[in-house]
Structure 1
Amino acid sequence: MSTEIRAAILDSAATLQRLAADEAATGVIAGIVDLACGALAAGRKLLLCGNGGSAADAQHWAAELVSRFHYDRPGLAAIALTTDSSILTAIGNDYGYERVFARQVEALGAAGDVLLALSTSGRSPNVLAALRAARAKGMATVGFTGAGGGDMPALCDLLLRAPSEATPRIQEAHEVAGHIICAAIERRLFPRQP
């Protein structure tokens, strides 16, 4: 068992090392920070969505922004579209599961907002529908996916591809990137006084 544990840890570490060495990927992360900060500073909001573990990431990042990350500061406008069971089940029942995020984007999104959409495969129909809805509203679109990218590249202004095809490794890379993004947004918008 300990051999398997070490192998999983080393595999995760290798994925993160590839991410760190990829200048295009680190540039995308910096671009996401710039985009999010610009929207938030202009009074706009971030909407986040994903399925399964990616739904948990969307909720996690929204919580870090609305509450706090490293230190106390004013809350930031971030909404996870994965949390309201009444809305999700109503949309799923009335329009189908593919529309659970798109319908919320249509209702809550506005030009100048940013959609952060997570799909490890890049092929989740409800995430792709949300990206299309965001584009139609004049929102900026940011994607988080795996090495392949699936169908997300054509729908995203910025796309972070975790350098792996394995779902757990992709999600681990996304989680690290999300923490980096949340910390950078907090520092830039509310610099700590010395």
Structure 2
Amino acid sequence: MQDTIKKIFTENIQVQIAAGEVLPSALESAAFTIAQSLINGNKLLCCGTASCHMLAQHMAGLLINFYETERPCLPAVALAQEQVNLGPNNNIDDHETFARQIRAFAQQGDLLLAIAVNGNEKQIISAVEAALTRDMKVIVLVGDDGGELVGLLGPNDVEIRVPSKRPSRIVESHLVNLHCLSELIDLTLFPQEEN
């Protein structure tokens, strides 16, 4: 059992080292894109697949509250994963849940942060398509080969692709990447003088 535990930690460390080699440019670009959008008075809409939904909530919470240093609130919202409709026409497709919220709330200049595992999740693909019809920029956190999502992204969008095929390692790396983004956004918007 302990060998399995060591193997899990080793695999996680190897993915993080590989990510540290390939992701700095994408993370820097994403942080700058988010910071610029917030400076312009726009908001960040976050969504994630079932296994990544808590990460979307966490990212929105980090911006609304703060990461490690207290600062003013920043406008971000995690889109609801469930669509509650008690009316007679309760036949909304599950894969449209995020897309419908984007069509209802998003304004031009807002950003979508979409978190997926392999990039073939219909709910996330629909969300990105809805964002693009609103002329929104999109930041995608994904793993594996990026799936269908990468084909939707344009030159102003940002893909942060974890170099792993294992869903658990991808989700773990997403958390590190979100913390990295939070710190970079704070440093950009609220630079601290070094003591």
For the aligned pair, the TM-score class normalised by the smaller chain equals over 0.9
Q: Which residue of 2 aligns with 1:49?
A: 47
Q: Runs of 5+ in structure 1 lacking a partner?
A: none
Q: Which residue of 1 aligns with 2:30?
A: 32
Give yes or no for contact 2:32–2:188 (8 Å, CA) kept in 1.
no
Aligned length: 189
Q: Which residue of 2 aligns with 1:6?
A: 6
2:111 alignment partner AA: V
Q: Determine if the alignment matches structure 1 residue 129 to structure 2 residue 138.
A: no
1:35 alignment partner AA: T
Q: Which residue of 2 aligns with 1:90?
A: 85
Task: Flag the 1:103–1:14 CA change in 2: closer, same or farther, 3 A.
Answer: same
- SS for the counterpart of 1:101 is helix
2 CA distance for matches of 1:46 and 1:149?
22
Matches within 5 A, 1:11-160: 11-22=11-22, 25-82=23-80, 85=82, 88-90=83-85, 93-156=90-153, 157-160=157-160
Aligned residues with identical type, % of pairs: 29
2:95 alignment partner AA: E
1 CA distance for matches of 2:45 and 2:122?
17
Q: Runs of 5+ in structure 2 lacking a partner?
A: none
- SS for the counterpart of 1:53 is coil
Normalising to structure 1: TM-score of the pair?
A: 0.92
RMSD: 1.6
Give yes or no for contact 1:47–1:116 (8 Å, CA) kept in 2.
yes
- SS for the counterpart of 1:61 is helix
2 CA distance for matches of 1:193 and 1:14?
34
1:143-180 alpha-carbon deviations (Å, 9 max, x no partner): 11113110011223111110000000001111111000
1 CA distance for matches of 2:21 and 2:151?
25
Report the CA distance between 1:71 and its aligned residue: 1.3
- SS for the counterpart of 1:47 is strand
Structure whose residues are more often helix by fraction: 1
Normalising to structure 2: TM-score of the pair?
A: 0.92
Report the CA distance between 1:191 and its aligned residue: 2.0
Give yes or no for contact 2:116–2:141 (8 Å, CA) kept in 1.
yes
2 CA distance for matches of 1:123 and 1:43?
32
Report the CA distance between 1:193 and its aligned residue: 4.8
Task: Flag the 1:185–1:3 CA change in 2: closer, same or farther, 3 A.
Answer: same
2:178 alignment partner AA: G
1 CA distance for matches of 2:67 and 2:106?
24
